[in-house]
Structure 1
Amino acid sequence: MIVTRFAPSPTGRLHLGHAYSAILAHDFARRQGGRFLLRIEDIDGTRSRPEHVKTIIADLAWLGLSWDGDVVHQSQRLSAYAGALDRLREMGLLYRCYCTRAEIAAASLSAPHGAEPIYPGTCRVLTRQNAERPHCWRLDMARATAIAGPLTWQDHGRTIVADPLTAGDVVLARKDAPASYHLAVTVDDAWQGVTDVVRGQDLFAATHVHRLLQALLGLPTPAYHHHRLLTGPDGVRLAKRHGAPALAALREGGSNGLALATELRVGRVPIGATDT
């Protein structure tokens, strides 16, 4: 059976880009008699807000979307992430990193303008560890890829060769959170039996890392369907940081959610929807 999911973070309100992705994932499952799941990725305790969870649920219902089973909250799945980290640690693939964002940015010259700097591996070679000092846990990417060997995944029916080395030694457990996005999403997709991941092209690069983690942890690999990003009349991607209107604002302003969903299904942004 086909199983898809929509997994927003309750760190703010959903916008039109979120709606587009949720609709595509929902419809992909429904067309084939499958299941559509809702997962709340709320392990970022400093930014996640309960009020945003309520708004997310109201927005999806307003769009005419329904999901199967209970809503899963990542904040209730911390033991599963800890178990995955323990397994990777036992494999000798994790190391403590004490670097700050500023230190990483100063040491890394390879990242394009506006992109997250690639970690230069400063702490990988440390011979002395201090468990009491604030730290995150990073994946030794070179060692991990050597163990995993060549990897591929299916994306819209095409075979993609995974190249996780380009991501550098990614964080799998942050200083302020028990697991990173990379680890939590990989563990949860497997646990929930997700067969098809429908998400935006902006997450394509992350899939290289997720495919590696699946191999290391012995987890199944879903089929991926990275869709184009929705843009406004100016051609700019619809995102919160670009001023995309919140679905809640449209809903509270009297817009018709079902009509909006119909327009988004064909990749069209209704006139005036980006002006709120």
Structure 2
Amino acid sequence: MSVYRGRFAPTPSGPLHFGSLVAALGSYLDARHAGGAWLLRIEDIDPPRCPPGAADTILRQLEAFGLHWDGPVHYQSQRNAAYQAALERLISAGLAYPCSCSRKQWRDYAIYPGWCRHGVREPHKPQAWRLRSDLGLRPVAWQDRLFGDQRFDPAELGDVVLKRKDALWAYQLAVVVDDAEQGISDVVRGLDLLDNTPWQCQLQVALGYPEPRYLHLPLIVAANGQKLSKQNLAPALPDDDGAALRRLLHRALLALDQAPDPAAGEAPVAEQLTQAVHDWDPRRLAAERHRRDTS
């Protein structure tokens, strides 16, 4: 892919927090420094996890930090037909199968044992659709821009769910279809998603999609070592252009090892971003799995 197209793809399960800001900022700077597009995708395929108004809050937070996206916002909840078409292609190729098994049934196994690969065990029960990880590309190898050579056998990770028993789409299929249809050339995201990449690479090959470049960023963790997340009640980002917001942006640049001018923490958002886009260099990133938030 010669034209850079990046994206930020949050799940609207709540407002963004500092870890989200670091991920969004890293993907934004990488795209803008390359002169590329930066798209926004709202991954709202799980309505029970997405309270009303959360997506709009995320949009306001990004705008407050000067992270303006290109084109219309892309909502996964509107993409059912595209995901169904991709699933049907996988079924026709023998790479997806229905599965009635529950997590409780295979709780004594590290990964799903593939019991339904050759026929549904309990046809009268609700069924999910799983990927035949043993038949696709194996092993999966790619060069992460920060963590270097990566190699996984997806069959050792198990047959991931593509469509849930409740008929909701699962993350792996949706993200692959959307990245391909949006022409995403570079995926910049948190390290917690690195071990999802093997399944996504399998799906890209199976569906004839190009493989984007990957840059996985170190995870931001709290003082207790827990990943900053909505589940762990990480504080929400502000959505107004105040002094706290400007200092948060400066902290996020420090978390990305970009060594901003210490005096720039009080500078307006637009000024900080302009300088950060100019100076962005992912080679400064330390290849460590976790980055402690020292605020």
User: TM-score range with shorter-chain normalisation?
Assistant: 0.7 to 0.9
Residue in 2 aligned with 1:63? 65
Contact kept in structure 2, 1:64 and 1:257, CA below 8 Å: no
Residue in 2 aligned with 1:113? none
Q: How does 1:204-219 map to 2 (within 5 A)?
A: 204-219=194-209
Q: How does 1:86-235 map to 2 (within 5 A)?
A: 86-105=88-107, 107-108=108-109, 110=110, 118-126=111-119, 130=123, 133-144=125-136, 148-156=137-145, 158-235=148-225
Q: TM-score, normalised by structure 1?
A: 0.85
User: Which of these residues, 44, 47, 52, is aligned with residue 46 of structure 2?
Assistant: 44
Displacement of 1:150 in angstroms is 4.5
Matches of 2:76 and 2:223 in 1, distance apart? 35
Relative to its length, the structure with more helix (as a share) is: 1
Unpaired segments ≥5 residues, structure 2: 257-264, 266-292
Residue in 1 aligned with 2:274? none
Contact kept in structure 2, 1:153 and 1:162, CA below 8 Å: no
Displacement of 1:237 in angstroms is 2.3
Displacement of 1:31 in angstroms is 0.9
Matches of 1:252 and 1:134 in 2, distance apart? 46
Matched position secondary structure for 2:48: coil
Unpaired segments ≥5 residues, structure 1: 111-117
Contact kept in structure 1, 2:65 and 2:241, CA below 8 Å: no
| Alignment length (residue pairs) | 258
In the superposition, relative to structure 1, how do residues 255 and 120 fare at CA in structure 2: closer, same or farther (>3 Å)?
farther
In the superposition, relative to structure 1, how do residues 47 and 197 fare at CA in structure 2: closer, same or farther (>3 Å)?
same
Displacement of 1:252 in angstroms is 7.1
Contact kept in structure 2, 1:81 and 1:178, CA below 8 Å: no
Matches of 1:253 and 1:197 in 2, distance apart? 28
Displacement of 1:32 in angstroms is 1.3
Residue in 1 aligned with 2:260? none
- Percent identical residues: 44
Comparing 216-225 with 171-180, greater Cα deviation is found at: 171-180
Q: Which amino acid is 2:114 matched to?
A: G
Q: How does 1:250-269 map to 2 (within 5 A)?
A: 250-251=238-239, 256-267=244-255
Q: Which amino acid is 2:25 matched to?
A: I
